[in-house]
Amino acid sequence: MTDKTRVLVTGATGFLGGHTLTALATRDDVEVIAACRTPMRLPADFRGEIRAGDLTDAGYRAALVTGVDVVCHTGTWGAFWGHRRQERELFFEPNRDLIDRSVHTGVKRFIQASTIAIAGRRSGSPIDDFAPTRRTGFWPHLDYLIDLDQHMRASAGSGTQMITMRLGHFVGAGARLGMVPALVPRLRTRLVPWLAGGRARLPLVSGPDLGQAFALAATATELADYESFNIGGPELPTAREVIAFVADATGTARPALSVSYGMGYAFGALMELLHPMLPGSSPFLTRSLVHVSEDWACSNDYAASKLGYTARVDWRTAVSQSLSELKAMGYPWPRLAQPA
């Protein structure tokens, strides 16, 4: 018999899941279970239980949560624009069912990877951890995350604690679907303007800090039936600081013009509409990219007080890691949706 907490990590071979797995592996009070489709992609030194399968398989989901104390749900399908049917079938419905099955089997805590961008933004004001959500109507992945958050709130008190992790923008080596990979090739075209002068603050957060946050959320005591945590890095750089850093590091000219967010959203909508008639695997700009570039000023204070979370990795270090990896690959134009 063991008195260790059995923690399941879905998407264990992905960017977020891999860092969560690494952070949990350092704890003596945890027994880690890795859930993934391709076990050979797990770290060579991983010695825990492996539950291989596809989260879109209902039978797999039922077996997955059996004999588990905590679920860290970091495995997901997602797109940075459109794809409403795929988002519903590959992301929302399997995710909601996993929550329900966790409750049914007596999982003590369910931790959901989400984004700070679900919050109803108030320009110039810090966004608290429980800020009301705001639908976009144009980004299905984010709108479904809001539906899941509401489902978790409604399920709180069932015996399973529900924890929403409102994560900042991922940066660092291995973050293939995020702000920096999307920004670099577009910036190199010299067609990217500042949005509202680049004054927006961006909650960039590294892989190791994300992993630490999930490990702490999995093991923290005295949490309420429903909790929501903003998770960012140690500081909030402005978009101007980040873009200038990326431009200088890649030898690219900084943007010369500034446009309003309204113009950015209008151009993004046009690019989405014209995408089928234009070359490339993804639109030049999408409204979701404009959305994540808005001002997401939030602090880690609540996560620090309840979880003991302390962000440590400077955003410049994490962005430099991303840029080094992207340079080795020739600064590819990334897809804004995962393969189905």
Per-domain residue ranges for the chain? 5-175+203-233+297-312
207 contacts 285 by C-beta, under 8 angstroms: no
Residues 6+ apart with CB under 8 A from 157: 225
Q: What is the pLDDT of residue 6?
A: 98
* Cα torsion angle, 144, 149, 154, 160, sign: positive
Output the 3-class SS for 221-232. CCCCCEEEEEEC
Tokens of 311: 């962000």
CA-closest candidate to residue 203, choices 176, 167, 178, 246: 167
Residue 50's contacts (CB-CB under 8 Å, 6 or more residues apart) are 33, 34, 35, 36, 39, 42
Model confidence band, residue 83 (pLDDT cutoffs 50, 70, 90): very high
pLDDT given at position 112: 98
CATH of the structural domain 5-175+203-233+297-312, one choice from 3.10.180.10, 3.40.190.10, 3.40.1190.10, 3.40.50.720: 3.40.50.720
Is residue 325 helix, strand or coil? helix
Residues 115 and 229: their CA atoms lie apart, in Å, by 10
Q: What's the N-to-C CA distance of the chain in angstroms?
A: 40
Q: By mean pLDDT, which of 27-41, 122-136, 137-151 is the weakest?
A: 122-136
pLDDT, averaged across the chain: 94
Give the model's pLDDT for residue 44.
87
Q: Is the distance from CB of 252 to CB of 187 less than 8 angstroms?
A: yes
The CB density around residue 221, as the number of other CB atoms within 10 Å, is 5
3-state SS record for 300-314: CHHHHHHHCCCCCCC
What whole-number distance in Å separates Cα of residue 102 and Cα of residue 218? 15
pLDDT at 229: 98
pLDDT per residue as tens digits for the range 30-78: 999 999 999 999 988 898 999 999 999 999 999 999 999 999 999 989 9
Is residue 1's pLDDT more than 60?
no
Identify which of 211, 226, 239, 256 has the alpha carbon closest to the alpha carbon of residue 315.
239
Place of tokens 């900084």: 254
118 pLDDT more than 90: yes
Kindly state the average pLDDT of the residues 233-258. 96
- The CA R_g of the chain, rounded to the nearest whole Å, is 19
